[in-house]
Amino acid sequence: MSERIRATYQIETAYPLLEAAESMAGEQSSGTFVDVPGESEELRERHAGRVEDIVELDVTDEPTLSGTTPPDDEPAREYTRAEVTLSFPVENIGVDLPNLRTMVAGNLFELRHLSGIRLKDLELPASYASEFPAPQFGIEGTRELVDVYDRPIIGTIVKPSVGLSPDDTADLVDDLVDAGLDFIKDDELIANPPYSRVEERVEAVMGAIHRHKDRTGKEVMYACNITGDVETMLELHDVVKDAGGNCVMVSINDVGISGLLALRKEADVPIHAHRNGWGALSRHPLLGFDYAAFQKFWRLAGVDHMHVNGLRNKFCESDASVIRSARICQTPIASEDDVVMPVFSSGQWAGQAPETYEALGNADLMYLAGGGILGHPDGPEAGVKHLKQGWEAAMAGVPLEEYAEDHEELRRAIDHYGPVGSGR
């Protein structure tokens, strides 16, 4: 008997819960609404989706999403919300990530039985999950490359997002590496545009990084955005490598799972996953994907770093959601080796370090700040120092204000960005 993949959903429906859940299992396996020739009992038994569990949550008067057709075409009186777990045989798809997503998500979002439908999580048999590429570097491998073990990897994003020539970018990076950063990334809005071809940009930027390494022994990681078609990504990956580059970045939703798999296959450096577009898949609570489900596809495909926003970020995500996402990145799927670095960014300064550390219980993360470094009143070097000091304090359990008493950069940052506990 084939092992089974379990998928958990939150749904809302005007139908009896079992009927709605069975329509989901049917749509994603036997897949038709009427009995058709050839669909024998034996095939059903072997391949059908199965309703494993239904937990009723609450009831509402109005359908959350429109387009649902209540039973018997009469206006429904109530819509029940529930958590539904389905299972599907592994054999229905084999070891195949794009088709895994087709099976557990696919047409479900359009089912007329449902006025709310969100994929919350996926549970894969370990033997099955372990057949996917998974991260090549993950948390440990990334730490080794940057030689930072006992605190977050501190980084920044090259700004402005668009318009800088390769030489201007390298000039900025020259200053940033001198400031003591571990990690620098491109913005997602600059990949390989005519005004800054990766070939020239990575050459210029790695020049700055290597000169800094010659002076200090420290090699900063640079996530060069190579988002593009597959041929371009593979070419640019090699260009990055030839320039001594040590990381590539990809906008995962815009490249897609198959493109990412093609890159992972050839990649010799960590893949920094930018999740822009994620809001379209997640922002409505009864539609799309929870991060727990979403990130699994990309981790199995082999990314090494996943963005999670940050506490008191400038976007619309709550702190609770950010922390939940970061914990998920640090939770094994099939083995300890498939955990990935959660990447905190957006509005970050030292002010969020204590709560971030307290909530996560570890410092296995990347902590990116833009204005939190460049906007420090005493310049970028003080900006980086204040972040490191903030994390030292957080990890030692010392209140920031107290630690700031004899750490000037932190004190100045609190005056400038503070109070502690706010975003910037």
- Contacting a copy of itself within 75-114 (CB under 8 A): 91-94, 96-99, 101-103, 105-112, 114
Hey, which residues between 301 and 320 contact a copy of itself (CB under 8 A)?
Answer: 309, 314-318
Q: Given candidates 213, 279, 292, 359, which one binds a copy of itself under the rule CB under 8 A?
A: 279
Looking at the DSSP bridge assignments, the partners of residue 89 are 4
Beta bridge partners of 11: 82, 117
The span from the CA of 380 to the CA of 86, in Å, is 51
Closer residue to a copy of itself in complex, CB, 254/355: 254
By CB under 8 A, is residue 292 in contact with a copy of itself? no
Nearer to a copy of itself by Cβ, of 245 and 380: the residue is 380
Cβ-proximal residues to 120 (8 Å cutoff; 6+ apart), any chain:
8, 9, 10, 83, 290, 292, 293
The answer to whether the beta carbons of residues 190 and 161 sit under 8 Å apart is yes
Length of the chain: 424
Span interacting with a copy of itself, options 120-128, 208-216, 226-234, 384-392, rule CB under 8 A = 226-234
C-alpha to C-alpha distance for 286 and 22, rounded to whole angstroms: 19
Which residue among 16, 265, 268, 421 contacts a copy of itself (CB under 8 A)?
Answer: 265
CB proximity list for 96: less than 8 A, separation 6 or greater: none
Tokens of 60: 């509402």
261 vs 271 by CB, closer to a copy of itself: 261
Query: Contacts with a copy of itself in 9-68 (CB under 8 A)?
Result: 28-34, 36-39, 43-44, 46-47, 65-68
CA dist 134 and 372 (Å) reads: 32
Which span (207-215, 281-289, 361-369, 392-400) binds a copy of itself, by CB under 8 A?
281-289
Query: Using CA atoms, how far apart are residues 25 and 413, in angstroms rounded to an integer?
Result: 54
Figure out which of the listed residues 166, 228, 310, 342 binds a copy of itself, where binding follows CB under 8 A.
228
**Interface mask (CB under 8 A) for a copy of itself, residues 199-218, using x and -?**
--------------------
Among 20, 76, 209, 233, binds a copy of itself (CB under 8 A): 233
Is residue 286 within a helix (H) or strand (E), and if so which, with residue range? Answer: none
Q: How far apart are CA 177 and CA 174, in angstroms?
A: 6
CB of 246 to a copy of itself, least distance (A): 22
Task: Give yes or no for residue 223 binding a copy of itself (CB under 8 A).
Answer: no
Least Å distance between CB 384 and a copy of itself? 15
Within 339-398, the residues that bind a copy of itself by CB under 8 A are: 370-371, 374-375
Q: What part of residues 128-167 is at the interface with a copy of itself (CB under 8 A)?
A: 159-164
Looking at the Cβ atoms of 281 and 363, the one nearer to a copy of itself is 281
Closest contact distance (angstroms) between CB of 36 and a copy of itself is: 5
DSSP state of 227: -
Q: Which of residues 182-201 bind a copy of itself (CB under 8 A)?
A: 187-189, 191-195
Beta bridge partners of 221: 183
| Look-up of token digits 């008493």 | 405
H, E, C per residue of 230-252: HHHHHHHHHHHHHCCCCCEEEEH
Distance CA 217, CA 298 (A): 33
- Kindly state the smallest distance separating residue 113's Cβ from a copy of itself, in Å: 9
Cα(160)–Cα(403) distance, integer angstroms: 33
